[in-house]
Amino acid sequence: MVRKNPLRLLILGAHPDDAEYHAGGLATLYRQLGHVVKMVSVTDGSAGHHDCKPKKLATIRRQEARASAAVIGAESDVWEYPDGHLLATLEVRHRIIREIRSFRPDLVLTHRTNDYHPDHRAVGQAVQDASFLVRVPRVVPDAPVLQRDPVVAFMPDLFTKPNPLTADVVVDITSHIDTVVSMLACHCSQMFEWLPWLEGVLDQVPEDKGQRFAWLRRWYIDKIRIRADRYRPELVAACGSSRGKRIELVEVYEGSEYGSPLNAVTRKQLFGFLDR
Ligand SMILES: [Zn+2]
C-alpha cells in the first residue's frame, strides 16, 4: 500500500529483537496502513547466546533483524555498540539525535529507564537525553534540526518500581499476533536457542518448523497476556465494556514528557486508526 504523506515510526530498541517483541503489533498496524517503519537496534546483539561466539552472533543477528523487518516491509538497522556493555554516553546520544534528524519520525518508541536490562535502560536514557537536544541546532550542528519534533513514547513493560508504565494508549494486537510471531521467529538464535536456554527449556523446542511456530506463539502469548489484565480499566475505557473486557493481547504505550506532547491532536494523528 502506497500512501501520500505516510507517518514515520522509529523504534529505538537495545537489541535486534526488542522492537518486534515490545512493539511488533503497532509496527504491523502502521505498515498495513502504508506508514513507514524503521526498527533500530542500538547494540549488535553479540552477547545473546550461550554457545555462539560474539562476532559470528553479531552477523547472524543482523541477518535475523533484516529478515524480521522484511515480514512487514520495515527498514532495519543494527548499530555496532557491543551488547551488554551499553552506556548512555554522549556518543550514543549524538548518534540518536542524528538518527532522529535524518529519519524525521512522527513517533519514536523506546524502553523505559526502569527495566531489568542495563542496555534497555541506557537506550531509554539516551533517547530521553536526545528528546530536547534534537531541537537545539548547536548540538550535532552538521545534522539540521527538524521542522517538527516527534512524539516519544515508551514501549510496554511490566516493571512496577518505582512505578508501572502508564497506559496512555492501548492497542489491541489480537488479530496481528501471527505476524508478530512470524517476525519473532526470524530471530532463531534468540527464540529457539538463547531464550529457551536461559529459561531451561531448550529441550522443549520442537525441530519441525510448523511446530516451532506454534511453540513460539504459545510462549509469546504466555509472556504478554498479563498486559491485558493489568491495563483492563484502560482497555474498557478505550474499547467499551464488552470488547474491552474480552481483549487478551495488547500493547500499551506511555507518552514521554520530553518529546512533543502526546495530546488529543497528536494522539489522533498517530493512533487515530484505533478509534474506529
Ligand atoms: Zn533487549
Average pLDDT over residues 111-139: 97
3 assigned to some structural domain:
no
41 CA from centroid of ligand 1 (Å): 9
Q: Given this model, what pLDDT does residue 92 score?
A: 98
Average pLDDT over residues 128-152: 95
Boundaries of domain holding 151: 8-275
Helices and strands of the chain, counted as H and E runs: 11, 7
Residue 1 has pLDDT above 70, yes or no: no
106 CA from centroid of ligand 1 (Å): 23
140 CA from centroid of ligand 1 (Å): 27
Residue 276 has pLDDT above 60, yes or no: no
Taking the model in full, what pTM does it have?
Answer: 0.97
E-strand spans in the chain? 8-13, 36-43, 75-81, 107-110, 151-154, 169-172, 250-255
264 CA from centroid of ligand 1 (Å): 31
Q: How confident is the model at residue 148 (pLDDT cuts 50, 70, 90)?
A: confident
2 assigned to some structural domain:
no
Residue 7 has pLDDT above 90, yes or no: yes
Average pLDDT over residues 126-149: 95
CA distances from 66 to 38, 269, 270 (A): 11, 28, 25
Q: Given this model, what pLDDT does residue 259 score?
A: 87
Q: Given this model, what pLDDT does residue 53 score?
A: 98
Q: For ligand 1, an ion, list residues with CB under 5 A.
A: 14-15, 18
CATH code, domain carrying 245: 3.40.50.10320
DSSP conformation letters of 44-90: --TT--SSS-HHHHHHHHHHHHHHHHHHHT-EEEEEEEPTT-----H
Average pLDDT over residues 84-101: 98
Q: How far apart are CA 156 and CA 162, in angstroms?
A: 15
List pLDDT tens digits, range 9-20.
999 999 999 999
204 assigned to some structural domain:
yes
13 CA from centroid of ligand 1 (Å): 7
141 CA from centroid of ligand 1 (Å): 31
CB-CB neighbours of 266 under 10 Å: 19
115 CA from centroid of ligand 1 (Å): 10
Which residues are registered as beta bridge partners of 10?
Answer: 38, 108
Take residue 59 and report the three cell numbers written for it.
552477523
2 CA from centroid of ligand 1 (Å): 31
Question: What is the domain count for the chain?
Answer: 1
96 assigned to some structural domain:
yes
168 CA from centroid of ligand 1 (Å): 23
- The four Cα atoms 171, 157, 265, 260 give a dihedral, to 10 degrees, of -150
Contact 37, 72 (CB under 8 A): yes
Average pLDDT over residues 194-207: 97
Determine whether 18 is exposed, middle or buried from the number of CB atoms within 10 Å of its CB (0-12, 13-18, 19+): buried
211 CA from centroid of ligand 1 (Å): 25
List pLDDT tens digits, range 55-66.
999 999 999 999
Q: Given this model, what pLDDT does residue 2 score?
A: 66
Q: Given this model, what pLDDT does residue 160 score?
A: 96
**What average pLDDT is seen over the chain?**
96
Residue 275 has pLDDT above 80, yes or no: no
242 assigned to some structural domain:
yes
List pLDDT tens digits, range 230-267.
999 999 999 999 999 999 999 999 999 998 999 999 99
> In whole angstroms, what separates CA 145 from the centre of its chain?
24
94 assigned to some structural domain:
yes
74 CA from centroid of ligand 1 (Å): 19
CB-CB neighbours of 234 under 10 Å: 18
Take residue 149 and report the three cell numbers written for it.
519534533
Q: How confident is the model at residue 274 (pLDDT cuts 50, 70, 90)?
A: confident
